[in-house]
Structures are given as structure tokens and as C-alpha cells.
Structure 1
């Protein structure tokens, strides 16, 4: 059995009510719910929230909610892994222990259902894997970064600044969309970014962190281009 868990707390400082704010005609939360449902990977799609309004919207779009998350797990300092463990433990108390659990972030309007399916296939194919997560390649070599000094500018890495881009090791970052893992790995706090994990590298046009109003606008533009391409 597989479950998807979407953490979606009520508080958001930079973009108020971000998780249910209207995005291209639907609440933001609708997009990861629908992607999870359409992927065919999950028997249950659960939204973890501390907010009654968010819970109602989650149910409207086909997800379910367990008991509201405690306030201690809904502040600015609680990590995602702690929330996933809490929800998995609630399922265990109900007599259900899924074999696999995918954490999907709530603000992922560019998430595609087929990416979840691909991640699930990758996880199944290699028994040693604990997680498969979404990643993106840095568009510019991080080894050639610059830093501001008191007197001017300096290379972050003096040994790499003069090298050609193609001679530098490719680098990647967490795309912040999903983390598909084995339930045992979540519950035993195995690191997501470790030896038993694998990246699913996404195309640039499907990656946009949404933390500021400018990020939101950029994500809407990407979403519109994606819809045009599909049409």
C-alpha cells in the first residue's frame, strides 16, 4: 500500500494563506492533490494540516485528512520529516502501515503525475533505495560563484574560477516537489539526502520555488506556458 502525504499548515508569513490561495483558477493545494490522484500510485492521498479551512478544501478535491495536526507540529521551525512521521504514526494507530509514503509539498502547481509514477518505478526497481526525490540542475556552475568582500569581489573557489564549465562537476539542488520513500526509512529517520537516495532530475520549466510574490508570478507564467504546450 502507498500513501501520499501533503503537509499544508495554515500559517504563511510572506504569502498569507499560500496553500489555498487561488492559482490559475484553483486553490494552490488542488494541484498536488490532483497530481497524486492521477498518478495511480496511491491508495490514499492525505493532507496534513492544522487548519479547518484547508482540511475542507483538501476533501473537496479528493484528498482525506486525519485529525488536525497539533500546533507544536505547525510552527515555523518544525521540519517536514517530523510531520510525515507524525502522520504515519497516526495511520499505524489506526491499524494501517503503508509500505511506501510520498511526501508532496503543497505549493507544487507544476508537479506532473507522470513524475510521481517514474519516481515510484525507480524506487521499486532498486531494493537498496530509501528515497527518490525531485531535483534540478543548477543553471550556472556553483564552483564559479563570486563573493562580495570588504574591498571588492573574490572567487568563492579560486581553484575553479578559471575552469571551463564543461570541466566542472555538475551540481544539483532539491526541487522541493516530492520525496517518495519507504515508510520504514521515514519512521527510522533515514536521511533523504544520503547514500540510499536517488534524484529524479526535472526539466527547468517544471521547477519554481514559491516563497515570494515574485516567485508566485513566475510560477503562474510557467504554468500558462505548460498548459499552452499541452494544448
Structure 2
């Protein structure tokens, strides 16, 4: 069995109702649900939530909400790994054999079904424990600066001070869209996705946007509109 899991708790503080807030005409969570369904990969597309309103919206867009997430996993400090493990435990109690699970964030309107499929193909490679979306930093991090205790500017890595930007290795960061896990390779105690045996799905930086504030939200909507207009040309 292959499961898609979309975590969507109801207690967002910086953007109230974030997971079902309208994003250019439909709840932002709908984009993740639709991308998962469109892949044709998943036996189940599950939304893990503690909120009945979110559950109703999830069902209306084709996801299942077979359980309500317990309160102990619904606070500000609960990480993604704990929510994924809870879903796998639910499957295990039912007698389901889950071979792969893909966690897709609820506020990822730029997520594409084609990229999710690429992640699955990578996590099926021999010796691969996980696969997730990454994107390049827009500026070489090795030329990064910090402030000293007396507020002077210092390089974090002074050994690269004379290096040309084009000579520095490219660095990537988590794109915050989806995370595949090969359950048979799952760590019992360590991080589920950030392991030595993780494979990247590299996304262009213009298709990646964290949405943590209302300013982020507005920027994401502007980028999304431009992408859609480009498709129509």
C-alpha cells in the first residue's frame, strides 16, 4: 500500500485558518490533495487533522479523514515525523502493509504531481530511505555574513572570502513541499526523512515559496498568477 499523508491541524496562529484559507479561489489545502490524487500512485490520500471543519473540506476535495488526530499531536511543537509515525501506527492496527508513504504539506500550492512521481521513483531506488523536494539557495551561502558580539560584520566562512561565486559549490535547502519515505528503511528513533540515504527532487527556486506570514501569502498568490498566465501564452 502507498499512502499520501497531508498534515493539517487547526491551530495556526500567524495565519488563522491557514490550511483552508482561500488561495486564488479554493482552499489552499485543495492544491495538495488534487496533486496527490492526480499522480495515480496512492491507495489512500489521508488528511491528518484535529479540526472537523478541515476534515469536511478535505473530504470535499477527494481526501479521506479516517481518524481525528489526537490532542497530544496537535500543538505548536509537534513535528512532522510524529504525525507520520501516528499514521503508520493507524495503518498497522488495521493490518495494512504500507510500503511507502508521502507526506505532502497542506500549504504547498506550487506542488506538482509530476514532482511527487519523481520522488517516488527515487525512493524506489536500491538503498534509498527517503526522497524530498529541495531548491538551490539564490545566493552562495559560503559568502554568508554574520555579526560579531560588538556588531562588526564577519564572514561565516572566511576561507571563501576570495573565492568567486561561480567557483563555490551549489547549496540547497528544503523546499517544503513533499517527503517520501521507504517504510522498510524507516529509522525507529532518528529523523524519518533527513537521512544519509535521502535523494533530492530539485525544484526551480521560482516555484518554491514558504507561506508563514500574510506577506508570504500575498507573494505566493502573485507568483502563482504569473505561472498560470505563462501557461496560457
Which TM class, normalised by the smaller chain length?
A: over 0.9
Q: Deviations over 1:93-115 (max 9, x none)?
A: 11212110000011000001110
Query: What secondary structure sits across from 2:206 in the alignment?
Result: helix
Q: Corresponding residue for 1:196?
A: 197
1:85/1:187 contact within 8 Å kept:
no
User: Which residues of structure 2 form unaligned runs of 5+?
Assistant: none
* Count of aligned positions: 230
Q: Deviations over 1:119-153 (max 9, x none)?
A: 111222x1200111000100101111111232431
Superposed, 1:1-231 pairs within 5 Å as 1-124=1-124, 126-149=125-148, 150-186=150-186, 188-191=188-191, 192-231=193-232
Which shifted more, 147-156 or 55-64? Answer: 147-156
TM-score by length of 2: 0.95
1:91/1:97 contact within 8 Å kept:
yes
User: Which residues of structure 1 form unaligned runs of 5+?
Assistant: none
TM-score by length of 1: 0.96
Q: Deviations over 1:148-181 (max 9, x none)?
A: 2324312121111221012212111000100011
Displacement of 1:59 after TM fit? 0.3
Query: What secondary structure sits across from 1:159 in the alignment?
Result: helix
33 and 187 in structure 1: CA distance in 2 versus 1, 3 angstrom threshold: farther
Query: What secondary structure sits across from 2:45 in the alignment?
Result: strand
For residues 46 and 3 of structure 1, the distance between their equivalents in structure 2, rounded to whole angstroms, comes to 7
Query: What secondary structure sits across from 2:158 in the alignment?
Result: coil
Query: What secondary structure sits across from 1:13 in the alignment?
Result: coil
195 and 77 in structure 1: CA distance in 2 versus 1, 3 angstrom threshold: same
